[in-house]
Amino acid sequence: MNQSIYLYLVNGERTGEGFWKIGATKNVDPLKSDKNFLECYRKELIGEDAAKEILMAIQLNIDTLINSCLNDGYEIPIPSEGISYDLPLSVIEEIFEFWLNLYKDPILFKKVVKLLKLKKNIDFTNPTIVKGIKGITAEWIKKLELLNKYRPPSATKSSSKDPMWVENQE
């Protein structure tokens, strides 16, 4: 039986560490699910199966975004629970809403999830790739790229290694 549950976005704090949390609960008030939750930003009543699929897509999207930031040299601390406060609420809400709304078309939802999984192995910003992808696939790739465009305002990590063209002088 596919019960209705609440998909939520909250912020919380545990032992002085703040975090965002996206999850699902049977409680009408998600804040009652955990005493460390402070404020609820989004709450949607949906089916349990839908919630599981949407949560998986959201988590995959957030992991992809964080990995992209890390690969570009930005530091994003990983909290012991939930999602880093270093990602702005507006970015988290945009990802939440995107996948929630996309689920209204389950077939398209599954196709876009597959594109997001492909993003791990294919650079969709590569001009050669961009030229080769056409039609509706190209449109959804652009939307995924927009979801993953955020970068922290802080400077990138500095490297203490010498560039490869600098020779060791002995």
73-125 confidence digits (pLDDT tens): 998 988 999 999 999 999 999 999 999 999 999 999 999 999 999 988 888 87
> Does residue 170 carry a pLDDT above 60?
no
Q: What predicted TM-score, i.e. pTM, was given to this entire model?
A: 0.85
pLDDT of residue 1: 59
Dist CA 61 CA 57 (whole Å): 6
pLDDT category at 2 given cuts 50, 70, 90 is confident
pLDDT of residue 130: 75
Pair 49, 104: CB distance under 8 Å: no
pLDDT of residue 165: 53
pLDDT of residue 90: 96
Dist CA 120 CA 148 (whole Å): 12
Q: Which residues contact 157 (CB under 8 A, 6 or more apart)?
A: 73, 74, 75
pLDDT of residue 111: 95
- SS3 for 83? strand
pLDDT of residue 132: 82
Of 85, 117, 111, the residue nearest 10 (C-alpha): 85
The 8-class DSSP code of residue 16 comes to T
Tens digit of each residue's pLDDT (9 = 90 or more) over 47-78: 999 999 999 999 999 999 999 999 889 989 88
Tokens standing for residue 120: 């791990």
pLDDT of residue 135: 85
pLDDT category at 159 given cuts 50, 70, 90 is very low
